[in-house]
Amino acid sequence: RRALGSLGQSRAKFISAEERTGVTFEDFAGQEYIKRELQEIVRILKNDEEFQNKGIYCPKGVLLHGPPGTGKTLLAKAIAGEAGLPFFAANGTDFVEMFVGVAASRVKDLFANARSFAPSIIFIDEIDAIGSKRGGPDIGGGGAEREQGLLQILTEMDGFKVSTSQVLVIGATNRLDILDPALLRKGRFDKIIRVGLPSKDGRLAILKVHARNKFFRSEEDKETLLEEIAMLTEDFTGAELQNILNEAGILTARKDLDYIGREELLEALKRQKGTFETGQEDSTEIPEELKLRLAYREAAVAVLACYFPDPYRPFTETDIKSIHSQPNMRYAEFSGKVFLRKSDYISSIVRACAPRVIEEEMFGVDNMCWISAKATLEASRLAEFLILQTGMTAFGKAYYRNQNDLVPNLAAKLEALRDEYLRFSVEKCASVLREFYSAVETITDILLEKGEIKAEEIWDIYNRAPRIPQPTVNP
């Protein structure tokens, strides 16, 4: 998303390491024909040799396109889950706005990494960020860099031999129109699938998937209620439908009811419409509960940003005027030469935990909501980056050995080490938030009252806050 210097700050995104998704086609509802097409690909992936003997090869690339929130990521994960293959996720924005030469080498690393786990799946979300038409308008800058990255993707895809060491590349975009045609040529993304907005039946099926772990008075009651919501939600995406059920669950819990009822569902629907129709700009339209959660999240992020200041990118301000799955905290332009030590990487993992830790502390583990969900992902990605890409951890150089027979071993070792870093980071983050609890509360109050707060005031509150001593947390 930003420059390499953003290693030191929590909003950076990185190529994730191998992940087993555990997601299946059962988790995706509606648009059955998409599943049928993808199921075929999974069959080919699984019985690679059998199909090869018949001269049937898996496509090298599958491009999923359609509006955000329609389940493209979910489908990519389901392909990996169904085929039982490791999943490497990246975002097109990971590759742009970096120092010269970095985009191409990031792409190279990603493919090398995936190949060493082959057969495996690479997922590049928002591929348009790197794969837009060359020579077009340079939206967001970094044109030359992006071009290098795109060329590298093309080289990598052309380079695969169709053999058992297959890597399937899945791209996702909501801007098919701006993609470079070179990406869509034969032997690259040669399977293009549109993931559209669900039909009424599709919406009902999606609602049912997300109602699986929710309580209703009876099966019939559930059926009738979901049927009604499906009727009322034309043009809603799967992600929005999921939100409605989650929101209804929260409302139910808040009213201390045992079952989700019609009133809660309709209220949740109204809120969902509200957040999406206000252009997410006017804080008066954000439901109170969400505003409170946002304020706590931003306050926690601010306190952590003071405790572990980013040496290269000072924060400037934050607000609760819009809702995103990542913090609203804004940062100054990146400056200075990058000199990151291991402790800087670790600080950035601890900072990334803040949204998740504060939600759990304030609202309870069973009552968290989507505004903290990305934090977990972010922290894991950063930890994996530290382990796999910097060579600064006990994982050492084993990664470069890259032998297939080491793979199961390595994967287990990576997971264990990553979990160790995450456990420490969550603990440390919680300890900082408890120590500076009064600052968290003060910043939250100001955000609720004024809607925004500047760095200067945050620092002032942080420096004056009475601290509650905490036991030391050691790595």
Give strand ranges (E) for 320-412. 330-331
- Among 72, 146, 297, 313, indicate the residue that binds ligand ADP (CB under 6 A): 72
Taking CB under 6 A as the criterion, the residue among 10, 21, 70, 166 binding ligand ADP is 70
Which among 69-77, 183-191, 287-295, 417-425 is the span making contact with ligand ADP, rule CB under 6 A? 69-77
- 239 near ligand ADP (CB under 6 A): yes
Query: What angle, 0 to 180 degrees and rounded to 10, lies between the N-to-C axes of helices 407-435 and 354-363?
Result: 60
CA 103 to chain centre: 20
22 binds ligand ADP (CB under 6 A): no
Number of residue whose CB is nearest ligand ADP: 238
Single-letter amino acid code for the residue at 274: G
DSSP letters, 104-118, are HHHHHHHHHHHHHT-
Distance CA 409, CA 148 (A): 34
Strands (E), 4-71: 61-65
Query: Could you give the CA distance from residue 248 to residue 269 in angstroms, rounded to a whole number?
Result: 8
Q: How far is the CB of 192 from ligand ADP (least distance, A)?
A: 15
- Binding flag, residue 59, ligand ADP (CB under 6 A): no
Instruction: Kindly tell me which of 74 and 443 has the beta carbon lying closer to ligand ADP.
Output: 74
Rounded to a whole number of angstroms, the minimum distance from the CB of residue 204 to ligand ADP is 11
Q: How far is the CB of 226 from ligand ADP (least distance, A)?
A: 13
The stretches of 140-199 forming alpha helices (DSSP H) are 143-159
SS3 string, 257-315, reads CCCCCHHHHHHHHHHHHHHHHCCCCCHHHCCHHHHHHHHHHHHHHHHHHHHCCCCCCCE
Residues 170-199 that bind ligand ADP (CB under 6 A): 172
Residue from 22, 68, 391, 475 in contact with ligand ADP (CB under 6 A): 68
Tell me the number of residues near ligand ADP by CB under 6 A. 16
d(CA 374, CA 18): 18
* Residue 272 makes contact with ligand ADP by CB under 6 A: no
Which residue, chain included where needed, has tokens 């690909």? 41
Question: Which residue stretch of 25-33, 283-291, 325-333, 376-384 sits at the interface with ligand ADP (rule: CB under 6 A)?
Answer: 25-33
Cβ(355)–Cβ(375) below 8 Å: yes
Interface of this chain with ligand ADP, residues 283 to 342, rule: CB under 6 A: none
Decide: helix, strand or coil at residue 136. coil
Nearer Cβ to ligand ADP (29/458): 29
In this chain, which of 170, 206, 455, 465 binds ligand ADP, going by CB under 6 A?
Answer: 206
Which positions are catalytic?
298
Cα–Cα distance for residue pair 55/101, rounded to 1 Å? 39
Task: Give a three-class secondary structure readout of 377-435.
Answer: HHHHHHHHHHHHHCCCCCCCCHHHHCCHHHHHHHHHHHHHHHHHHHHHHHHHHHHHHHH
Interface with ligand ADP (CB under 6 A), residue from 120, 242, 318, 348: 242
Is residue 28 within the footprint of ligand ADP (CB under 6 A)?
yes
DSSP label at 174? S
Nearest residue (CB) to ligand ADP, 242 versus 328: 242
Nearest-5° Cα angle at 61, 59 to 62: 95
Length of the chain (residues): 475
* Contact range with ligand ADP by CB under 6 A, out of 236-244, 253-261, 262-270, 421-429: 236-244
Q: Is 238 in the site for ligand ADP (CB under 6 A)?
A: yes
Instruction: State yes or no: residue 73 binds ligand ADP (CB under 6 A).
Output: yes
Sign of the dihedral defined by the CA atoms of residues 414, 415, 419, 422, in that order: positive
* E-strand stretches of 20-145: 61-65, 87-91, 120-125
- The reply on whether position 71 binds ligand ADP by CB under 6 A is yes
Q: Work out whether 65 is an interface residue with ligand ADP (CB under 6 A).
A: no
Contact pattern from residue 209 through residue 228 relative to ligand ADP, giving x for each residue in contact according to CB under 6 A and a dash for the rest = x-------------------
DSSP class of residue 321? S
Count the Cβ atoms, other than its own, within 10 Å of residue 333: 11
Answer for which of 5, 6, 14, 30 binds ligand ADP (CB under 6 A) is 30
Binding to ligand ADP by CB under 6 A, coded x per residue (else -) over 130-169, reads ----------------------------------------
Q: Whose Cβ is closer to ligand ADP: residue 197's or residue 349's?
A: 197
Contact positions vs ligand ADP (CB under 6 A): 28-30, 68-74, 172, 206, 209, 238-239, 242
